[in-house]
A and B are shown apart, each in its own frame.
Chain A
């Protein structure tokens, strides 16, 4: 029985750019308990809804996060579209799907790079970000932005993709598929990488379900939960199954995300083959009156958008629940009994976005 001590972790930490603070109750090298505190980067985005009209608000909501910016904007737009009973044209829905899946590839490649960096494999980190750069170029070509795209509006999308742009996207994802197949072996079967990931931070299926884990974090524990199956954008017309794994450890989370990149590549191919011609958006008239819960599967997991309109151009309330917030209880569970040296990897494997969480 060793002596108990408390080690503060964050909000500034070399391995983690995210401002989360944890008080780690330690006994020797083992963690007994982790007490989180967040709220360092609260920006009050939700209360801006009282000052910006519901169409301007799209540009505020998509700035919640720099990685899933497209899906934030889309989730908000879909919630307003449901309230106002606007049907987005098919081409608009397919374009949204393509951009969503490109965001997923870019987010997961970023996460893989950060993971490699966290266990000290610098060149693997750069290999992942080299691939991600190509996706960012595709975003810049189609939307004009590399991080924030501003192509969503209530009623559809603002920009179209022509034949040549779709061909370039397909060529890029072909290249990424080829490169990732090589890198995948290192991530999943390399001896040094496996020793850092296998059996670390196990979350069982029951725990994942009870603690309300979402996204790849839950799917790695065998919980089949993918909001895309619920059907929004053009997902009902595409063929896919949620990617899951059984072990529930860091290795399984890495495997799920790698396989989701391949799945996203497949979904972009399907969507670009099926994309119909037609309008990008419908004109929206009037103001929203009513309320709606929109659930969107982001790269990090399920995000919830609650909008309540009162018939004026300013909404009554807008609420975003981001996936990281839902995954924090699960993360604390995995920290219990872990070694101190594994803390950065355990925090990283939920793919935390604390700035999203605090909005």
Chain B
């Protein structure tokens, strides 16, 4: 008898207890703080360096620096959070709230007006100083790009190794520190990794 009435206790208990499941649409779901819902970009902080695009395992993020666009295809995103680890400005984060399903994949675009591609005025400046661009060029070369204090620099080459664009050339024997401004994406990784903290952005 004991072998055939094993489940009756559970059955009786279930008869007089409330359902375990939630009445979902009426009773909203609770998400914990760490829930991997979707990637959010604090666009004011974003420098459009493109490191998230380069490191995304599924290629869901597209960064168009010259157009000022940061795009994410939420249907391709797998919420692994690798971009949030790689972001030099820490402006990417994973927040609760899942992407709603849809009939087709689309990209979500965050846009900002870029005044002019930054490397061009610098190049134009050195070739032939144009009157109206000169002031802007001077302002844009002053900030954003890394500048090294060569009296502090030990020429360890860490900045060059960390540069995602290989825009830095450092020669220890010749005591040379050079930046190719047309390649630099102003991501700030060189300044972050400098052991002597002699690079400023």
Contact = CB atoms under 8 A, between A and B. Distances in A.
Give the interface SS of chain B, mostly helix, strand, loop or mixed. Answer: loop
B39 to A, nearest CB: 12
A56 B57 CA distance: 6
A319 interface: no
Interface string B140-176: 0000000000000000000000000000000000000
A130 B6 contact: no
Nearest to B3: A191
B16 interface: no
A124 B7 CA distance: 8
Nearest to B13: A182
Contacts of B85: 158
B3 A123 contact: no
8 contacts: A52-B57, A56-B57, A123-B14, A124-B7, A140-B32, A142-B34, A144-B35, A191-B3
B201 interface: no
A7 interface: no
A212 interface: no
A56 B82 contact: yes
Contact of A186 (B6, B35, B78, B94): B6
A143 B80 CA distance: 11
B116 interface: no
A56 B35 contact: no
A100 to B, nearest CB: 19
B11 interface: yes
In the complex, the 5 A-B pairs of residues with the closest C-beta atoms, listed nearest first: A144-B34, A144-B36, A59-B80, A191-B3, A141-B32
B78 A190 contact: no
Interface residues of A, number: 30
Contacts of A143: 34
Give the interface SS of chain A, mostly helix, strand, loop or mixed. Answer: helix
B57 A130 contact: no
A60 B82 CA distance: 12
B23 to A, nearest CB: 16
B79 A150 contact: yes
Contacts of A182: 9-10
B139 interface: no
Contacts of B31: 140
Contacts of B128: none
Interface string B27-70: 00001101110000000000000000001010000000000000
Interface of A: 52, 55-56, 59-60, 63, 123-124, 127, 130, 133, 140-145, 148, 150, 158-159, 182-183, 185-186, 189-192, 194
Contacts of B11: 123
Given A56-B57, A148-B78, A190 B3 contact: yes
Interface size class of B (residues with CB under 8 A): 20 to 34
A185 B11 CA distance: 14
Contacts of A144: 32, 34-36, 79, 81, 94
Contacts of A145: 36, 79
B26 interface: no
B201 to A, nearest CB: 23
A103 B35 CA distance: 18
Contacts of A189: 2-3, 6
B6 A150 contact: no
A271 B9 CA distance: 34
A21 B81 CA distance: 37
Nearest to A141: B32
Contacts of B6: 185-186, 189-190
Nearest to A59: B80
A88 B100 CA distance: 38
Contact of A190 (B7, B34, B82): B7
Contacts of A55: 82
A116 B31 CA distance: 30
B81 A186 contact: no
Nearest to A194: B3
A59 B82 contact: yes
A10 B146 CA distance: 62
A87 B78 CA distance: 29
Given A144-B35, A159-B34, A194-B3, A59 B78 contact: yes
